Amino acid sequence: MKEYKYKINGTEYTVQIGDIVENIANVTVNGEDFQVEMENEPEPEKKKVVVNPAAAKQQESTDEGASAGPVNTENALKAPLPGVVVEVKVAVGDTVNAGDTVVVLEAMKMANNLDAERSGKVTAVLVKAGDSVMEDTPLVVIE
- Averaged over successive runs of 10 residues, the pLDDT of the chain (143 residues) comes to 89 90 89 88 67 45 46 86 94 93 92 93 92 92 91
**Cα torsion 76, 117, 61, 129: sign:** positive
CB 15 within 8 A of CB 87: no
In this predicted structure, what is the pLDDT of residue 58?
43
Please tell me the distance from the alpha carbon of residue 40 to that of residue 34, in angstroms, as a whole number.
19
Q: Whole-angstrom Cα distance, residue 65 to residue 58?
A: 15
Supply the pLDDT for residue 49.
55
pTM of the model: 0.53
